[in-house]
Amino acid sequence: MKLALREKGKLRFVDGACTKSRYRGELVEQWEKCNAIVLSWIGSTVSNQLMPRIVYASDARKVWNDFQEIFDRSNLTRIYYLWSEIAMMRQGTDSVTNYYTKMKDLWDELDVLAPISCCDCEESRPSIKHLKSQRVLQFLMGLNESYGNVRSNILARRPVFTINEAYVIVPQEENRRTLSVVDIQRDPLTMLARRTQGFKPKGIGLICEHCGYKGHLKENCYKIIGYPPDFKSKKKTR
C-alpha cells in the first residue's frame, strides 16, 4: 500500500506530512479531494468488515493509524507458523525454481514480521551472516535426495555460499539431468527398441475377399490354392 501511495504522490496524506491545517483558501478543497481519493484507495484493499471504519472517516491519516495500531504488530502465532512451514518444506514433485520461490515467499513474510538489523556495523555482521547461512541450510535440507552430491559440494565450499549462489547451482544440475534424459531418448538403440515395441505382425488388418476370414488376402487363401499337409483347423470340434 505504501508503494502504491508513493507512486501516486499521496504517501504524505497517511504519514502525517500533509495535514489539512497547513492549507488555506482554495487549497483546502484540493486537500479534501486528495484525501477522499486516498480513503477510496484504502477502502478498495480491505475486507468488507472494515469498510465502516472508512466510510464514516474524514481523515486518511486517522484511518491509517487505526489500522496500523490493530494489524501492524509482530504476531508470534504467525511467526511460529512460518518457521514450521520453512522447517517442513520439501521439494517433492516441484521443480527447483518452484520450490525456491515458495520458500522465499515465507522468508520475505518472516522478514516483515521479524525484521533483521539493517545496521552495517562490525557488531551486527556476525548475526546477519549467521542468518544468511541458516537460509542456505534450510534450502538445501528441503531438496530431494537426488541432489545429494550438489548439496555436499555447496556445504564444503569455503567461503560459504549465499542463498542466491546456492540456488543458481542447483537449477544448473536440474537442467543438465533434463538434457541427459533427452540424449538417452535420442539414442539409436532406444529409438530402435521403441520401434520394435510398436511393430505390428504382418497380416493384421487384412481380409480375404473369397472366404471372408481375416489375416490373409484372396491370392493366399487356402480354399483356392489348397491346404498345406500340416494344416490344423482353428474351429472347435464338438
d(CA 218, CA 211): 8
Q: Which amino acid is at 3?
A: L
Q: Do 113 and 78 contact (CB within 8 A), yes or no? A: yes
% of the chain beyond a pLDDT of 70: 85
pLDDT of residue 85: 95
Taking alpha carbons only, the member of 220, 216, 221, 195 closest to residue 204 is 216
d(CA 111, CA 133): 15
Q: Which amino acid is at 212?
A: G
pLDDT of residue 137: 93
Taking alpha carbons only, the member of 80, 15, 71 closest to residue 45 is 71
By residue count, the chain amounts to: 238
Instruction: Write out the three cell numbers for 74.
Output: 509482530
Taking alpha carbons only, the member of 64, 62, 80 closest to residue 72 is 64
pLDDT of residue 88: 94
pLDDT at 87 exceeding the cut of 60: yes
pLDDT at 72 exceeding the cut of 50: yes
Segment among 105-114, 161-170, 176-185 with least mean pLDDT: 176-185
Taking alpha carbons only, the member of 4, 26, 19 closest to residue 59 is 19
* More confident position, 209 or 62: 62
Average pLDDT of span 133-140: 92
Average pLDDT of span 77-103: 92
Q: For all residues of the chain together, what is the average pLDDT?
A: 82
d(CA 68, CA 62): 10
pLDDT at 106 exceeding the cut of 90: yes
pTM of the predicted model as reported, rounded to 2 decimal places: 0.52
Give 187-234 pLDDT, tens digit per residue. 565 556 565 555 445 555 677 877 877 777 777 787 777 777 777 665
* More confident position, 37 or 205: 37
Segment among 63-72, 100-109, 111-120 with least mean pLDDT: 111-120
Name residue, grid cell 530431494. 144
pLDDT of residue 238: 46
Q: Within 13 A of 28's CA, how many CA atoms are on the CB side?
A: 3
